[in-house]
Amino acid sequence: MTGTENGAGSAPAALRGRLLSITADPAGPGDTPGFLYLEDGMLLMADGRITAVGPADAMARRLPAGAVVDHFPDDLIVPGFIDTHIHFPQTQVIASYGAQLLDWLNTYTFPAEQRYADPARAAADARFFVEELLRNGTTTAVCYGSVHPQSVDALFTAAEARGMGLVAGKVMMDRNAPAALTDTAERGYAESRDLIARWHGRGRQRYAVTPRFAITSTPAQLDAAGALLKEFPDVHLQTHLSENPDEIAAVRALFPAAASYTDVYDRHGLLGPRSLFGHCLHLEEAELRRLSETGSVAVFCPTSNLFIGSGLFDAAAMERPDRPVRTALATDVGGGTSYSMLRTAAEAYKVLQLRGRNLPALAALHRMTRGNAAALGLEGEVGALEPGRWADAVVLDARATPAMAHRMAAIDGDPEEELFVLMTLGDDRAVRATYVQGRRVHDRASDSARHAG
C-alpha cells in the first residue's frame, strides 16, 4: 500500500522509503559514519515501537501476508522532530509587532496568558497547539504552560490523545506580573506537586518544574522549585537565562548578593543535567563554566533571539573543549516565529554564519532529533530510527514548493544536499506525513483537502 492510500489515524506495520537517521554527532559535512541512509529502507513497527530497520527487500520477508506498508519512494523519512522550548499559551502572541523582551511580555504575553484560567479555552487551544506541532513534524516537545494548572492538564490531555510525548509544566510566578498571573511560593509548589503526581511518568508524559525566570520569582519560590527537584529527581527544570541586557540588569537589582544571573539559579539548586535554560546569550565565563560543571543545557532559540532583538547565540563559546556546555535547539514560539524545526534550523544556520561558523545539514538534523533527545535524557526513547524507540517519524518532501522542486532538479541524489534544501527552504509544507507511535497523525493531503473545503 502506498503512503497516499493509507489515511490519517491508521497504524501500518511498516514504513518504506528513503530512511535517514543520525547515529552519532556528525563531525562535519559528509560524515558518513555519523548517519544511516537507506535508499530503499523499511521500518518495521509494533505496539508503537520500532522493531527493526533495514533494506526493504530483507525487511519485507519478515512481514506477515497482507501487512499494510506505507510507501514513500520519493521522500526522506527521518525521526520525529524534538522542540526543547516552546510556550503553549502563546499561540496568539506569535507575530506580535515591535517590542523587546520585557515590553513584549507586558504588552502581549501576560494578557494572552490570563485567558488560560478558562479550562475550555485551555482545552481548545491545546488541541490546536499539538496539531500544529504534528503538522510541522514535531512529535516531542518541552512546553511552558501558564500559571494555571488547568492549562497543563489540557496540554497533557491533548498530547496523550495523540500518543505524543511532552515535557511540560505550569509556570511559577509570584511577583512582577499581573495579579491574575501570580501564585505564591506555597501554591506554586503545591500545584506543581499535584501535576507531577497526575502526569509525570504517565505514558510518555514528563513534568518540568517551571519558574518562568528570576524576575518573576522570589527567592522563596526559587527555593520551592529546588525543593521539587530534590523531591522528584527525575523531573526536568525549565526556565530562561540571560536573554536580554535589560533582563540581566533587572535580575542583578533583584538579587544583589548573587555573582551572576546563573548564580541566582545555582544558589537555589536549579542547575543540573535535567535543567534547560532558554537563550543563554550574554553569559560570562564563570557562568559558562558552571553550566558545564553541572551538565545543564543551554537552549538555542534562533528565531526568537532575532525577532525580539536579543542577541546571537555563541556556539563556539558553548563548544570549548575544556568546559563544553550541552546545548539544544528550539522554536520558542511565540517569541519565535515558526513552529517548524526546519525553519528554526535555517535561522540557526544564519546566526552561526554571523558568528563565523556553519551548520551542516547533518548537524542540523542531529540537533532536531538525536541531539535534542540526548539533551532531554530521552535518547533511548526518541530521536532515531532504531529498534526499541518510539515509532515517531516524519516524511519530508523536498519538492514541496515550486522553488524547492526547481532547486532539487540540480541535485544528483545526494541526501545531504537534499536535507540542506529542506532545512533552508522547507517548512510545514514539506511535511508530507507525521507518525507517532507508528500511527499516521498528520497527512498533508488530507489536511489540505480539509482546509480547502
Which of the four pLDDT bands, split at 50, 70 and 90, describes residue 3? very low
Q: What angle do CA 87, 89, 159 make, to 5 degrees?
A: 75
Q: Give bridge partners of residue 434 from the DSSP assignment.
A: 394, 442
Q: Note the pLDDT tens digit of each residue in 51-102.
A: 999 999 999 999 999 999 999 999 999 999 999 999 999 999 999 887 787 7
- What's the rounded Cα separation, in Å, for the pair 153 and 168? 10
- pLDDT range class, residue 133, cuts 50, 70, 90: very high
- pLDDT band, residue 1 (cuts 50/70/90): very low
Nearest to 271 by CA among 292, 250, 254, 255: 292
User: Does 290 score more than 50 pLDDT?
Assistant: yes
Residues 70 and 62: their CA atoms lie apart, in Å, by 16
d(CA 350, CA 190): 43
Nearest-angstrom CA–CA distance, 291 and 127: 35
Question: For 80, which DSSP code?
Answer: P
In three-state secondary structure terms, 10 is: coil
Report residue 390 as a C-alpha cell: 518510539
Asked whether the beta carbons of 395 and 77 are under 8 A apart, the reply is yes
Domains of the chain: 14-80+385-452 (2.30.40.10), 81-339 (3.20.20.140)
Q: In this structure, are residues 357 and 327 in contact, taking their beta carbons and an 8 Å threshold?
A: no
Specify the pLDDT at position 5.
40
pTM, whole model, 2 decimals?
Answer: 0.95
Strands 69-79 and 81-87: unpaired
Per-residue confidence band for 452, with pLDDT thresholds at 50, 70 and 90:
low
Q: Specify whether the CB–CB gap between 392 and 79 falls below 8 A.
A: yes
Residue 81, phi then psi, degrees to nearest 5: -75, 155
Residue range 31-45: mean pLDDT, rounded: 88
Q: 338, 354, 320: which is closest to 431 by C-alpha? A: 338
Residues with Cβ within 8 Å of 159's Cβ and at least 6 positions away in sequence, in order, are 130, 165, 166, 204, 205
**Cβ distance 225 to 190 under 8 Å?**
no
Beta-strand relationship, 439-443 and 431-436: antiparallel
Query: Looking at residue 102, what is its pLDDT?
Result: 79
Under DSSP, is residue 247 helix (H, G, I), strand (E, B) or coil?
helix
Q: Which residues contact 246 (CB under 8 A, 6 or more apart)?
A: 100, 101, 102
Nearest 5°: phi and psi at 338? -155, 145
Residue 24 confidence (pLDDT) above 80: yes
What single DSSP character describes residue 64? P
